[in-house]
């Protein structure tokens, strides 16, 4: 599985949304993406990529796009 697929899977599992909606997912637009959804989403991504989000990254993580940037900062190629 490619890294981008792994990231999309995390969104599907963590936020319970269909894969087609993942690319446009934002915190405001996805019902389950509240502070609780955020925590499980972060935990799933951390496990999938073997990384650890810094607290300010958790704050900045408000969209799928932001998630991609965070992974890039951790030197994960997408």
Partner 1 sequence: MNVIITGSNRGIGKAMVETFAASGANIWACARKATPEFESWLNTTAKTNGVWIKPVYFEMTDAEAINAGIQSIIDDGQSIDVLVNNAGISTVGLLSMSKVEDIEKLFEVNYFAMLRVIQKVSKRMSRQKHGVIINMGSIAGIEPQPGKIAYGSSKAAVMMMTKCLAKELGPMGIRVNAIAPGPIETKMIHQYKDEVLEKLASETSLRRLGRTEEIARVALFLASDQASYINGEIIKVDGGR
Site for partner 1, rule CB under 8 A: 35-36, 39-40, 42-44, 46-47
53/64 with CB nearer partner 1: 53
The single-letter DSSP state of residue 1 is -
Min CB(24)–partner 1 separation in Å: 25
- Reference 42, options 5, 65, 67, 8; nearest CA is 67
Q: Is 18 left (phi over 0), alpha (psi -120 to 50) or beta?
A: beta
DSSP state of 76: -
Smallest gap from residue 58 Cβ to partner 1 (A):
10
Which residue, 31 or 77, is less far from partner 1 as judged by CB? Answer: 31
Nearer to partner 1, 20 or 52 (CB): 52
């Amino acid at each position: 599985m490619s890294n981008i697929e792994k990231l999309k899977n995390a969104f599907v599992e963590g936020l319970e949304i269909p894969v087609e909606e993942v690319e446009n997912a934002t915190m405001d637009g996805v019902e389950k993406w509240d502070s609780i959804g955020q925590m499980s989403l972060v935990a799933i991504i951390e496990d999938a990529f073997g990384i650890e989000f810094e607290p300010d990254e958790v704050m900045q993580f408000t969209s799928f796009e932001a998630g991609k940037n965070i992974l890039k900062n951790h030197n994960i190629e997408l």
